[in-house]
Chains A and B, each alone.
Chain A
């Protein structure tokens, strides 16, 4: 096993352990919120899971935008691989955030879904990145595909700050966790588990991204060999 493989294996194990610790913390260690119905109290714990995956969806799309910009500057395929890999992870995390948010919304809002500004902008963001993959799949030439996807990836990223700010700009029923006026929306004793979850999920994303970029690099090798052999 090479040094980088061993390093990745260690990182994977640390990530898995941190995810287990975060799950245990969210379920058993974090204090219950006060002044809520029993259903709402149980659902409130979703915050230790919902906020990290929502943050990662935006981080992943941010990495796609950075990869896209650097690809357009350098034309190195590695950056396109990074962009597409991160976009795929972003889609997965977006779906997880939508599903967990919906589970929380039922006891809190008495509905699984509502066209609130945050939910609407988040859905638009999700669809924009689904279109990113449709665009990629419509082109055969790798260089052309990478170039068009990079330009689209930068424009699609505009939806991320709009989604993030939607609960501050428009009237909404979605909770605001970080507010410049009222501060951080969690009590002090909830913060350790919250930040543990945030770190655990972020490391999980990094590990998945490394594996996904490797996969993309293998695909490029296969494509290059096929071209060389005239397939």
Chain B
């Protein structure tokens, strides 16, 4: 059973790390997108 537990630990661990990095990347991109949209709006208003 140790082997099976090891195998599941690997997939759950890998999935968890992958999902976590994906969420972090998404949060970072959302923040960047928001900031860029604000800059674009300011530029638009300044014209």
Contact = CB atoms under 8 A, between A and B. Distances in A.
B29 A222 contact: yes
B6 interface: yes
A46 B4 contact: yes
Contact residues of B: prevailing secondary structure? helix
A132 interface: no
Band of interface residues on A: 20 to 34
B11 A222 contact: no
Interface residues of B, number: 25
A27 B2 CA distance: 11
A115 B14 CA distance: 25
Given A53-B11, A211-B22, A215-B22, A107 B3 contact: yes
B26 A215 contact: yes
Contacts of A99: 7, 10
Contact of A43 (B4, B14, B22, B36): B4
Contacts of A100: 7, 10-11
Interface in B1-47: 1-4, 6-8, 10-11, 14-15, 18-19, 22, 25-26, 29-30, 32-33, 36-37, 39-40, 43
Contact of A215 (B6, B7, B25, B36): B25
Interface stretch (A63-71, A137-145, A223-231): A223-231
Given A215-B22, A215-B25, A46 B33 contact: no
A45 B4 contact: yes
B42 to A, nearest CB: 10
A37 to B, nearest CB: 12
Contact of B36 (A26, A103, A107, A226): A226
A50 interface: yes
A23 B1 CA distance: 12
Given A218-B33, A229-B39, 19 more contacts: A27-B1, A27-B4, A42-B2, A42-B3, A46-B7, A49-B4, A96-B10, A99-B7, A103-B3, A107-B3, A204-B15, A208-B19, A211-B22, A212-B22, A222-B32, A222-B36, A225-B33, A228-B40, A229-B40
21 contacts: A39-B3, A42-B1, A42-B4, A45-B3, A45-B4, A49-B7, A49-B11, A95-B14, A96-B14, A103-B7, A104-B3, A107-B3, A208-B15, A208-B19, A211-B22, A212-B22, A218-B30, A222-B29, A222-B36, A225-B37, A225-B40
Closest 9 CB pairs of A and B: A43-B3, A225-B36, A100-B7, A218-B29, A45-B4, A99-B10, A46-B7, A49-B7, A42-B1
